[in-house]
Amino acid sequence: MNRIKKHPVIDTDKPAGELEFRFDGSNFTGKEGEAISSALFANGIRHFSEHPKDGMAQSIFCANGQCSQCNVLVNGVVRKACVTPLAAGMDIRSIKGLPPLLTDDKPAELPGLEHFDCEVLVVGAGPSGLAAAIELAELGFKLMLVDDKPSLGGKLLLQSHKFFGSEEDCYAGTRGYDIAKILENKVKTHPNIKVMANTPLAGIFKDRKAGLYIDYKHYGLVSFKALLIATGAREKSILFPGNDLPGVYGAGAFQTLVNRDLVKAANRVFVIGSGNVGLIASYHALQAGIEVAGICEILPKINGYKVHADKILRMGVPVHLGSTVLSVEGDGKVERITIAKTDQDFRPILESAQSFEVDTVLVATGLSPCDEFYKQAVAFGFTAVKAGDAEEIAEASSAMFGGRIAAINLAKMLGKNVKLDQNWLDKREVLKSRPGDIISRNAPIVSSSWQPVFFCTEEIPCNPCTSVCPTHSINLKPRKGNMLDLPYFKGQCKGCSACVAACPGLAISLVRLRDDGMAEVRIPFEFDASHFETGARLLALDQDGKPVTEAELLAKQYNKKYRSWLLTLKAKPEDAVRIIGIRVQDEEVSRPLPVPSFKYLPDNAIVCRCERVTVKEITDFIKANKVRDINQLKTIRVGMGACGSKTCSVLLPQVFRKAGVDPATVTDGSLRPLSLEVPLGEMAEVLEGL
């Protein structure tokens, strides 16, 4: 079984009953209530079904219910494996071609159409939706909070790293899944909030009602006065040959498998994109015992926080800047990826190609807002606001403020006499800001007293070290006058190591001089250190992952509050002030294959994943038919698949440009009335009343 039995920062002993199920006629075991896709991955099954067009293997891409790559037959009914919970005795089968119709003609069991009423319907229980719901409830509104997952928290549940920002405003220094528990408890205990988890919103209608797919089993209707849309964002696909192979999927899907469901989803991954999502996913892979062959970034500089990149480099993962993907290849699954340097016009330099042997490729090249419900509400003339990633893609800390701000704005629209705190707007702007300047720091002079050494040199919104210092000796050095300012030490250090353990970027150490003229340096370590023995000599690294010296391990201590090890090493004073990490991954993992392997055929890249339509098929059709309306592409099945064009619509502007058409001159495609598939039998009660 591909299960994660031990993890440095996630509890792996969560109780879950084991059960048996069948897949394509064979017996397997899984955990009760986990997603079918996770149970299949845990059993080493990544080939779920085969596409009816060409028999291509299908697997997960988003693991979030947004696409249709993971469809399987469950007891004869087509279901999305990533959002369908596993139950005992399930008969799960691959879909090969078009699934057969059920032969059972018995009348559907009608559970009774449930009706609900609320003042505000909050859609989405991620950080922004939860924060908005709490704010609205405190203002006295009766609201319903619906979410398509069984547990509240959204992407917070996938985030095992410590948050940036401030401790006071957005739980900085606390791990994402712990923030989810805090917010979930506030929501579930508030008398003004009715929570309906595992219940996606299927559609909103002109009579001011919304359709609910309750527990993915039956249909219900809720009447509302206003909507707050906090539906988050979906993974972006990108175009390269092999982008549809099983094993190519979103970084968020990977975090779902690894961090939420504790499935060892890969042996060796390669990551496309060096934003925070890609950097963090790489780190999460390493913590789960999965090798990372490298990260590819088409821009000449890393796109995420420098402290994230620094710790990835220290772990032994290279970042290939100014590089693009030529292809991903394999026999029905990912076996290797080939990348190449690009010229000033971002065209690949083929002679620079390098191939890497991997079994998984993570796409971390951005997100698209899930804001269709908001647009529809506005078109219907409803009172509605959007929040979080549905409004603007940003960090979860910013999303929480965004939810609170959206709640106040909605309350004002509903006639409530409330005033928006300007400080909220100011803090949100800081939290969502791009990294600022790089500020050089001088190494401190080591003395007999403990003192912190700061390895954060880039201006990012973060200050938990100032909050946890018991002597208040760490403060931000005024430059911009907000959280972007860098921390500096002045005062007395007790050597408690709270700042070292709390720092989200693992960018603080403590140093002091010993009586023998050597120095002690205490560094954070978020991997398993239980096997390290006192007296061992460890290769110590600097901020950029370069070797400093072999240092003797004097002591190790586990901080339960922050779930982090603190390692105390002995080194020369001039070396101690440079040490901030030790290598986790062997250099051999990131070595390319001796000879690159690829066929550079960009026209073969899949645009419409559901219907398997390529770049060339679409561009040829656009040119031949002078297409200026996306709906015309439905003739060749673009956007006609089960996901409702959620994935391909983001890529179509690139394809129109390739065909010589300005996307701004093209009419948008029509959206479907329902946002996801609801089986006809489960709407029988509605149809009976028509």
Q: Which CATH superfamily is domain 18-99+237-363 in?
A: FAD/NAD(P)-binding domain (3.50.50.60)
The per-residue pLDDT for 678 is 80
Per CATH, domain 114-233+369-431 is 3.90.1150.10: no
The per-residue pLDDT for 81 is 96
Strand partners, 438: 458
Q: Is 454 helix (H, G, I), strand (E, B) or coil?
A: strand
Tokens of 224: 């509302």
Centre a 10 Å sphere on the Cβ of residue 490 and count the other Cβ atoms it contains: 9
Sign of the dihedral defined by the CA atoms of residues 264, 267, 269, 275, in that order? positive
**What does the pLDDT average to over 441-447?**
92
- The set of residues, in sequence order, having a beta carbon less than 8 Å from that of 455 and lying 6+ positions away, is 307, 310, 505, 507, 508, 509, 543, 580
Tokens of 184: 């979930």
Q: Is the pLDDT of residue 601 over 60?
A: no
Cα–Cα dist 534/588, whole Å = 27
Strand partners, 493: none
In this structure, are residues 191 and 214 in contact, taking their beta carbons and an 8 Å threshold?
A: no
* Same CATH fold assignment for domains 18-99+237-363 and 114-233+369-431: yes
Question: Burial, 467: exposed, middle or buried (Cβ in 10 Å; 0-12, 13-18, 19+)?
Answer: middle
Q: Is the pLDDT of residue 685 over 70?
A: no
In this structure, are residues 648 and 609 in contact, taking their beta carbons and an 8 Å threshold?
A: yes
Cα–Cα dist 511/323, whole Å = 38
**What does the pLDDT average to over 10-20?**
87
The per-residue pLDDT for 163 is 92
| Strands annotated E in 480-526 | 487-489, 508-513, 519-525
Cα–Cα dist 178/184, whole Å = 10
SS (H, E, C) 202-236: EEEECCCEEEEEECCCEEEEEECCEEEECCCEEEC
Eight-state DSSP code of residue 535: T
The per-residue pLDDT for 680 is 72
Instruction: Report the greatest alpha carbon distance in the chain.
Output: 88
- The DSSP bridge pattern shows strands 319-321 and 354-357 to be unpaired
- The DSSP bridge pattern shows strands 451-454 and 508-513 to be antiparallel
Confidence of residue 688 (pLDDT cuts 50, 70, 90): low
Q: Is the pLDDT of residue 687 over 80?
A: no
**What does the pLDDT average to over 17-46?**
95
| Cα 393 from chain centre | 12
Q: What is the DSSP string of 352-419?
A: G-EEEE-SEEEE-S-EEE--HHHHHHHHHT-EEEE-GGGTS---HHHHHHHHHHHHHHHHHHTT----
Eight-state DSSP code of residue 89: T
Q: Is the pLDDT of residue 58 over 80?
A: yes
- Mean pLDDT, the chain, as a whole number? 92
The per-residue pLDDT for 690 is 56
Confidence of residue 79 (pLDDT cuts 50, 70, 90): very high
Q: Crossing angle for the helix pair 127-138 and 176-188, nearest 10 degrees?
A: 30
Percent of the chain with pLDDT over 70: 98
Read off the pLDDT of residues 190-247 as tens digits, 9 standing for 90 and up.
999 999 999 999 999 999 999 999 998 889 999 999 999 999 999 898 989 999 999 9
Centre a 10 Å sphere on the Cβ of residue 478 and count the other Cβ atoms it contains: 8
Centre a 10 Å sphere on the Cβ of residue 102 and count the other Cβ atoms it contains: 12
Percent of the chain with pLDDT over 90: 79
The domain segmentation of the chain, as residue ranges, is 18-99+237-363, 114-233+369-431, 451-589, 609-665
Q: Is the pLDDT of residue 287 over 70?
A: yes
Read off the pLDDT of residues 99-124 as tens digits, 9 standing for 90 and up.
877 777 777 666 678 899 999 999 99
Read off the pLDDT of residues 295-349 as tens digits, 9 standing for 90 and up.
999 999 999 999 999 999 999 999 999 999 999 999 989 999 999 999 998 888 8
Cα–Cα dist 120/523, whole Å = 48
- Owner of token pair 């940003």: 394
The per-residue pLDDT for 168 is 83
Cα–Cα dist 184/277, whole Å = 24
DSSP H stretches of helix in 520-614: 573-576
Strand partners, 571: 519
| Among the ranges given (131-145, 295-309, 339-353, 382-396), the one the predictor scored with the smallest mean pLDDT | 339-353
Cα–Cα dist 664/686, whole Å = 40
| Among the ranges given (275-279, 307-311, 477-481, 670-674), the one the predictor scored with the smallest mean pLDDT | 670-674
Q: Is 19 helix (H, G, I), strand (E, B) or coil?
A: strand
Read off the pLDDT of residues 473-518 as tens digits, 9 standing for 90 and up.
999 999 999 999 999 999 999 999 999 999 999 999 999 999 999 9
Nearest to 195 by CA among 138, 142, 261: 142
Q: Is 680 helix (H, G, I), strand (E, B) or coil?
A: helix
Q: What is the DSSP string of 614-645?
A: EHHHHHHHHHHHT--BGGGGGGGTTT-STTTT
Confidence of residue 15 (pLDDT cuts 50, 70, 90): confident
Q: Is the pLDDT of residue 414 over 70?
A: yes
